[in-house]
Amino acid sequence: MAPAEPALDQPAAAPGQLVVHIDNITAGYLPGVNILNGCSLKAYEGELIGIIGPNGAGKSTLLKSIFGQVKVREGAITLMGEDITGLKADKLVARGVGMVPQNNNVFPSLSIEENLQMGLYQRPKEYAERLEFVVGIFAELGKRLKQRAGSLSGGERQMVAMGRALMMRPHVLLLDEPSAGLSPARQDEAFIRVSEINKAGVTTIMVEQNARRCLQICDRGYVLDQGRDAYTGTGRDLLNDPKVINLYLGTLGVDA
């Protein structure tokens, strides 16, 4: 496992300090149709936050609105107390927000190495040092730096995308379904990696379909429903909450 890195070059935050605060936002794609309807979320320094919920609840939209890819119509998003509502992606990356989208998350025609370099194009001088950190977490990537990303399988691409986001030494990492499309062993591995990244000091907000696994590792979880944060609590509490089990976890998992 990678050594725990101290704070990044963003303003250092004390443990327990509020890092991301989503305050009652409304957002959507089509005019007049709101996907998020007064959704709030808080992420404190060093926390691993899991977001679960049914299809179409607005989980991905919530991440996209933090990352400036969806217009926030009402409400505000702050990072370390500063308003970042509607800020474009490049500005957010410079402020230490990294995002790993669910699909189309690598440049297929570039090599793994070039993909990682793209993650650091704003500060290319730190490349060697950051590469070491990323390869420390994803050893497989280090062995195959020259391989074209387009020739990788889904799970490998996911690693490249996560690695690329980590190149920038993010303060906050946004993950959109890191386990999607991975085999069970790889899913477990992805969650363990996410946990490692978080333990290295990165405040992480993760959207997941694999709610059970997600809640097992996250510090706190939010259950989204119809664009609102319907339930919140520690991962454990949500895992054991009968209402959450019934509505969002499903009962199928119990035949394990």
- Binding positions for other proteins, rule: CB under 8 A: 29-30, 33, 53-57, 60, 102-103, 151-156, 177, 180-189, 191-192, 195-196, 209, 211-213, 216-217, 219, 234-236, 246-256
* Least separation in angstroms between CB 123 and other proteins: 30
Laid out side by side, the sheet with 203-207 consists of 97-100, 172-176, 203-207, 48-52, 220-225, 228-234
* Least separation in angstroms between CB 182 and other proteins: 6
Instruction: Report the phi/psi class of residue 226: left, alpha or beta, with left for phi > 0 and alpha for psi in -120 to 50.
Output: left
Phi, psi of 250 (to 5 degrees): 75, 160
Identify the burial level of 250 via C-beta atoms within 10 angstroms of its C-beta, where 0-12 means exposed, 13-18 middle and 19 or more buried.
Answer: exposed
DSSP line for 71-82: -EEEEEEEETTE
* Least separation in angstroms between CB 199 and other proteins: 8
- Is the Cβ of residue 103 or residue 122 nearer to other proteins in the bound state? 103
C-alpha triplet 162, 168, 173: angle, nearest 5°: 50
Which helix (H) or strand (E) segment is 44 a member of?
strand 36-44
Residue 43 burial (CB count, 10 A): 23
- Is the Cβ of residue 122 or residue 234 nearer to other proteins in the bound state? 234
- Is the Cβ of residue 56 or residue 86 nearer to other proteins in the bound state? 56
Nearest to 112 by CA among 155, 166, 160: 160
- Is the Cβ of residue 171 or residue 213 nearer to other proteins in the bound state? 213
Residue 124 burial (CB count, 10 A): 8
Instruction: Report the phi/psi class of residue 3: left, alpha or beta, with left for phi > 0 and alpha for psi in -120 to 50.
Output: beta
* Least separation in angstroms between CB 101 and other proteins: 11
- Is the Cβ of residue 108 or residue 154 nearer to other proteins in the bound state? 154
- Is the Cβ of residue 124 or residue 255 nearer to other proteins in the bound state? 255
- Is the Cβ of residue 81 or residue 184 nearer to other proteins in the bound state? 184
* Least separation in angstroms between CB 100 and other proteins: 15
* Least separation in angstroms between CB 201 and other proteins: 15
* Least separation in angstroms between CB 61 and other proteins: 9
Phi, psi of 72 (to 5 degrees): -85, 120
